[in-house]
């Protein structure tokens, strides 16, 4: 109720909400006076809000946010954020951030091809406005919060067949490409985690490998201690014996550092194997997860821990991942990718 008459004092009162806070006043002889006073009160708050907000354009704010995101997020996430902001600028051109309204954002989002894409772009735009509120302190409200998500069906993950994974490994070069795939499969890891592996992360004595994953919440790398089954032990031992330097497990001799990505390598293997559509790295993770899901005594919680989907403290990782169920789960993969390929 925005207006009411106090039965005891016989005066009119009003209240309203602005930027999440309640405002009000009383003492008016008529409802008309209360309506006029509330409107003036609201307009004064709006003007004061504008005065406290600094003038910065969307492009400038997006650039600052992306500088921060480049440090905090994985490359793929950073690149997609940049794509969303470029798309928004292409649709609306550059505007002062305080002048961007929910209607402008909604108009842009409605140009997206699917409900899922609508929601993803909505999320990234919301992140940018939250950054402007919390970090830059140039605005005090997020216009995206006034726009609801659209309903959508989650895309079904494509899981490659065992036949195609077999063909993929068979087509891979024995010395350089196949060891990389063996690590992806037996560690059930993201490609960035494999590229980031150092020999310091590999402990042959305890038969463990430390994968480093970047969490979204704070951008820090956190360890996942993975068991090294026999297939992985043999593969990594051979790589270690033949290494030409002591840091990176997968070393790029052209750059004298680690590889940034291996997309071209996987594309070439798919092409040689005649696999179409091609298998992607993340689909290999889904493939192994499906094997584990159909393995007796391997729980969903254990699979989730192996995939690195759940944040765990270092102590919990050591106690549960190595000594408990995950060790059995990883060992269940032994021989799954021993495809008896004749060279």
Chain segment 174-183, per-residue pLDDT in tens: 988 999 999 9
Cβ atoms of 61 and 97 closer than 8 Å: yes
Percent of the chain with pLDDT over 70: 86
> How far is residue 130's CA from residue 120's CA, in Å, rounded to a whole number?
15
Strand order in the sheet with 12-18: 3-5, 12-18, 21-28
Residue 189 has pLDDT above 80, yes or no: yes
Residue 172 has pLDDT above 90, yes or no: yes
Token pair 């985690």: residue:
193
pLDDT of residue 228 exceeding 80, the answer is: yes
For residue 221, pLDDT over 90 is answered with no
pLDDT at residue number 1: 59
Instruction: With both helix axes pointing from N to C terminus, report the angle between 115-131 and 75-92 in degrees, rounded to the nearest 10.
Output: 90
The phi and psi torsions of 30 (rounded to 5 degrees) equal -130, 165
Note the pLDDT tens digit of each residue in 102-111: 999 999 999 9
Q: Is 58-146 assigned to CATH 1.10.3720.10?
A: no
Task: Reduce the DSSP state of residue 283 to 3 states and report it.
Answer: helix
User: Tell me, what's the pLDDT at 237?
Assistant: 96
> What local confidence, expressed as pLDDT, does residue 137 receive?
85
160, with CB counted inside 10 A (0-12, 13-18, 19+), is buried
Whether residue 9 is predicted with pLDDT greater than 60 in this model: the reply is yes
- How buried is residue 55: exposed, middle or buried, by Cβ count under 10 Å (0-12/13-18/19+)? exposed
Which whole-number Å values give the CA distances from 37 to 2, 45, 51, 58, in the listed order?
12, 12, 21, 35
Coil, strand, or helix at residue 139?
Answer: coil
**334 token code pair:** 């032994």
Q: Quick one: average pLDDT of 6-23?
A: 85
Percent helix, percent strand, percent coil in the chain, to nearest 5: 55, 10, 35
DSSP letters along 18-81, please?
ETTEEEEEEEESSHHHHHHHHHHHHHHHHHHHHHHS---BHHHHHHHHHHHHHHHS-HHHHHHH
Query: Is the pLDDT higher at 72 or at 295?
Result: 72
Least confident stretch, 68-72, 140-144, 198-202, 298-302: 298-302
**pLDDT of 19:** 66
Sequence-ordered list of residues with C-beta below 8 angstroms from that of 110, at least 6 positions apart, any chain: 118
- CB-count exposure of residue 87 (10 Å: 0-12, 13-18, 19+): middle
Q: What is the pLDDT of residue 54?
A: 62
Residue 104 CB neighbour total at 10 angstroms? 15
pLDDT in tens, 79-89: 999 999 999 99
Q: Which residues of 257-271 are buried (b: 16+ CB within 10 A; e: fewer)?
A: ebbeebeebbebbbe
Average pLDDT score over the chain: 85
Distance separating alpha carbons of residues 224 and 305, to the nearest angstrom: 9
pLDDT, residue 51, reads: 55
Share of the chain above pLDDT 90, in %: 53
Stated pTM of the model: 0.60
Per-residue pLDDT band for 316 (boundaries 50, 70, 90) equals very low
pLDDT at 323 over 50: no
Where are the strands (E) in the chain, listed by range? 3-5, 12-18, 21-28, 202-203, 208-214, 221-227, 251-252, 257-258
Gap between the Cα atoms of 287 and 275, Å rounded: 15
pLDDT score, position 260: 85
Cis ω before 277 (30° cut-off from 0): yes
Geometric angle at alpha carbon 49, from 46 and 55, rounded to 5°: 120
Q: Rounded mean pLDDT of 15-43?
A: 88
Pick the CATH number of 162-331 from 1.10.443.10, 3.20.20.110, 1.10.3720.10, 3.40.50.1970: 1.10.443.10
Q: In the block, which residue shows the tokens 């094997």?
A: 291
């Amino acid at each position: 109720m925005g207006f009411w008459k106090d039965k005891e004092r016989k005066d009119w009162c009003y209240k309203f909400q602005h930027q999440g806070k309640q405002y009000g006043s009383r003492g008016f002889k008529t409802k008309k006076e209360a309506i006029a006073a509330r409107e003036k009160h609201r307009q004064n708050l709006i003007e004061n809000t504008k005065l406290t907000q600094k003038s910065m354009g969307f492009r400038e704010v997006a650039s600052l946010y992306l500088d921060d995101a480049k440090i905090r997020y994985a490359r793929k996430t950073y690149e997609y954020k940049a794509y969303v902001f470029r798309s928004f600028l292409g649709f609306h051109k550059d505007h002062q951030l305080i002048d961007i309204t929910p209607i402008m954002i909604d108009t842009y989002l409605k140009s997206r091809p699917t409900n899922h894409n609508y929601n993803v772009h909505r999320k990234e735009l919301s992140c940018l406005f939250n950054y402007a509120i919390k970090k830059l302190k140039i605005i005090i409200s997020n216009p995206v919060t006034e726009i609801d998500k659209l309903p959508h069906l989650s895309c079904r993950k494509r899981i490659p067949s065992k036949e195609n994974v077999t063909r993929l490994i068979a087509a891979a070069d024995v010395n350089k490409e196949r060891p990389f795939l063996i690590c992806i499969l037996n560690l059930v890891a993201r490609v960035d985690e494999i590229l980031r592996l150092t020999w310091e992360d590999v402990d042959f004595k305890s038969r463990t490998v430390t994968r480093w994953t970047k969490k979204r919440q704070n951008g820090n790398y956190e360890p996942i201690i993975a068991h090294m089954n026999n297939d992985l032990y043999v593969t990594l031992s051979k790589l270690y014996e033949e290494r030409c330097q002591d840091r990176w497990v997968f070393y790029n001799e052209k750059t004298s550092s680690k590889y940034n990505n291996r997309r071209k390598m996987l594309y070439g293997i798919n092409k040689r194997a005649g696999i179409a559509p091609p298998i992607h790295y993340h689909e290999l993770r889904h493939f192994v997860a499906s094997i584990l899901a159909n393995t007796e005594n391997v729980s969903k919680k254990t699979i989730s821990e192996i995939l690195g989907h759940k944040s765990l403290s270092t102590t919990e990782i050591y106690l549960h991942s190595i000594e408990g169920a995950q060790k059995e789960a990883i060992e269940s993969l032994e021989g799954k990718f021993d495809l008896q390929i004749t060279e």
